[in-house]
Structure 1
Amino acid sequence: MVDDEDDDWSDWQAHPVCAVCLFCEQQSETMDKIYTHMQNVHGFDLHGLRTELNLKFYQQVKLVNYIRREIHQCRCYGCQERFVSKAEALRHIMDSGHVMKLPQISTWDQPQYFFPTYENDALLCGLPDSDSDSEGTAPRSGGDVPVFAEDMTNLRVLKQTSVLNQLLKNRGSYN
């Protein structure tokens, strides 16, 4: 007997997303609002960087984690200058125009930045994943890769002359 009570999800409610700005304590329940906030208040355009640098999904993750970690450690992510407080680092980033200045990609595109600075960082969960993100994955639509039928015309000849078949024949002669 199947218990239908376990399959009823009609009363389930998703917890609202609470994404936190990369630069301040501003929080938003939608990703669009936090992206707009970062662009309007701080001059940081994550979507623009994604497009300009052609960032794949995991590169975006590493970039966000890199920026969060640098700011958390009171360091400018653009020039790596260290400060006494997070507020001083942020003031430097804004005043010096380093908001959109990133170091070389080799600085932040490192495996260590796969790990988030903050637990359950909703900003990471909301990063866009495009169809061009094929790092180590198969194409998403079957139409991208042509499939050719295997040529079976010479199968009997190939089977008789195969190395494995020769080894099996030689092995049988010794028994």
Structure 2
Amino acid sequence: MYKSQFIGLDEKPCDTKCLLCDCTFVLPTNETDFLTHLFKAHRLVIADVSKIASLRSYIHYWRVKFREAPLTTYCTTLLMDCTPDGQPSKNEHYFLLSDCLSEDKTLRNEIHQAKLEWALAQQEAERTDKSFKRGCMFCRTEFCGSRIIYIKHLFQKHNLHLGKPDNLVFVDELLDKIQNNIESLICIYCEKTFKDRTVLKEHMRKKFHKCINPYNKMYDKFYINNYSESEGTTWKQGQPNSEKNLDLGGGSSENEDEESSWSDWNDESIEIICLLCNYSNNEFACILRHMQEAHNFDFEETVKDLTFYEKVKIVNYIKRQIQLQQCIFCEAKSDNVLEHMKNQQHFKIPAQKVWNHPEYYFPMSENDSFLYNLDATSNSDEESDIENLPEAM
């Protein structure tokens, strides 16, 4: 319905006209002023604004619609006993624009989907780009070709927590923002300004401020899980309670805390669960062997020609189907889906058009240990690097 008209995906500050008049506001910078204007000047309230993936695009759509028909065509009318400025008054009319209207719900979903696809396309471009070149912001090391290696270096050598590379997007812009803060003597966590680099270094070390501020919405753009449809899932939820030291001097920090952090991530006691049943083991090879012997499903052979992202989608697709008691191949629903798949020899994946959708990029559960081991099915050093970093975000 709407993707052909989609605008403002990157949400850079831009003049945006009101839905109902010619007043202009810079969105998303002046969002609060804009919403206040809607209420006071037009008695219009937009429900769940924070869940709209691109407010500018949403406004653009409804501005066109409201030229064609009055508010009452699309909005719910509410009666309140006060005027917009708070004065008592009986039966004052207000209007609510929400996803209770099917057209509004469809619009919100399409904007979200378009923004998700836009972000994933950007992330894929960054992942395959080999022209990356940047010097470390803390030491003199130069990096070429891989953003993943650079991010890994920041964590290993300087204890700077940015999160797992497969959750990052617009990496260059994120690194620019962090480097600008450091060079401006601003702590990247509490965002206080210090008099010199030495004082900043000591502050960040003693206060454990070696990660970005999880409450600064400016950083939301740089984490793919913020583009997920699931509510309440944000990059800040995985923020570590106890951080390691950030060495602004450029030296290696091979201390016990860092080793403990890495050993936690690589702990072989973490249980991995079969994609098709409840069998678990802490050895990925045992899981693969179990799937082959118990279910006649050769996962390695199935995904051998797929990209890392396609493997992620396959895993999440299979888990979703099993959770819904639906066959992974024909999608038939059954009270005993494994028996159905065995009888029908359906332990195989369907055509790519069935599972290759952005919605399957996101795991069915947090800290999915099977996904952590996907690099074991790949010959790519770059893909292996992705899973070697701890879950910092």
1:80 is matched with which residue? 331
Distance in 1 between the 2:259 and 2:328 partners?
A: 44
Which has more strand, going by share of residues? 2
- Per the TM alignment, residue 130 of structure 1 is displaced from its structure 2 partner at its CA by 3.2
The 5-angstrom pairing of residues 38-117 of structure 1 reads 38-51=291-304, 54-83=305-334, 85=335, 88-100=336-348, 102-117=349-364
Distance in 2 between the 1:10 and 1:62 partners?
A: 32
1:20 is matched with which residue? 273
Distance in 2 between the 1:24 and 1:35 partners?
A: 12
Matched to 1:130, the amino acid is N
Q: Is the 1:77–1:103 Cα contact (8 Å) retained in structure 2?
A: yes
SS in 1 for 2:278: coil
Please state if 1:33 is matched with 2:286: yes
Distance in 1 between the 2:314 and 2:259 partners?
A: 37
SS in 1 for 2:374: coil
Shift of the 104–10 alpha-carbon distance from structure 1 to 2, 3 Å rule, reads closer
- Per the TM alignment, residue 36 of structure 1 is displaced from its structure 2 partner at its CA by 0.8
Alignment: residue pair count: 127
TM-score by length of 2: 0.30
Shift of the 130–80 alpha-carbon distance from structure 1 to 2, 3 Å rule, reads same
- Per the TM alignment, residue 118 of structure 1 is displaced from its structure 2 partner at its CA by 2.2
Residues 33-72 of structure 1: per-residue CA shift (max 9 Å, x gap): 1111111111111100122xx1011100100100110110
Distance in 2 between the 1:59 and 1:132 partners?
A: 17
Please state if 1:126 is matched with 2:373: yes
Q: Is the 1:71–1:77 Cα contact (8 Å) retained in structure 2?
A: yes
Seq. identity, %: 29
Q: Is the 1:56–1:132 Cα contact (8 Å) retained in structure 2?
A: no
Matched to 2:277, the amino acid is C
Distance in 1 between the 2:302 and 2:317 partners?
A: 14
Residues 111-137 of structure 1: per-residue CA shift (max 9 Å, x gap): 000111122111011002433979xxx
Runs of 4 or more consecutive aligned structure 1 residues displaced over 2 Å after TM superposition: 5-17, 128-134
1:167 is matched with which residue? none
1:148 is matched with which residue? none
Distance in 1 between the 2:324 and 2:287 partners?
A: 22
Residues 50-104 of structure 1: per-residue CA shift (max 9 Å, x gap): 22xx101110010010011011001001101112x3xx1111011110002x221
Matched to 1:110, the amino acid is H
2:256 is matched with which residue? 8
Distance in 2 between the 1:81 and 1:34 partners?
A: 25
The 5-angstrom pairing of residues 127-142 of structure 1 reads 127-128=374-375, 129-131=378-380
Shift of the 10–117 alpha-carbon distance from structure 1 to 2, 3 Å rule, reads closer
Higher relative contact order (CA 8 A, sep 6+): 1
Shift of the 78–132 alpha-carbon distance from structure 1 to 2, 3 Å rule, reads farther
- Per the TM alignment, residue 9 of structure 1 is displaced from its structure 2 partner at its CA by 3.9
Distance in 2 between the 1:126 and 1:95 partners?
A: 30
- Aligned-residue Cα RMSD (Å) equals 2.5
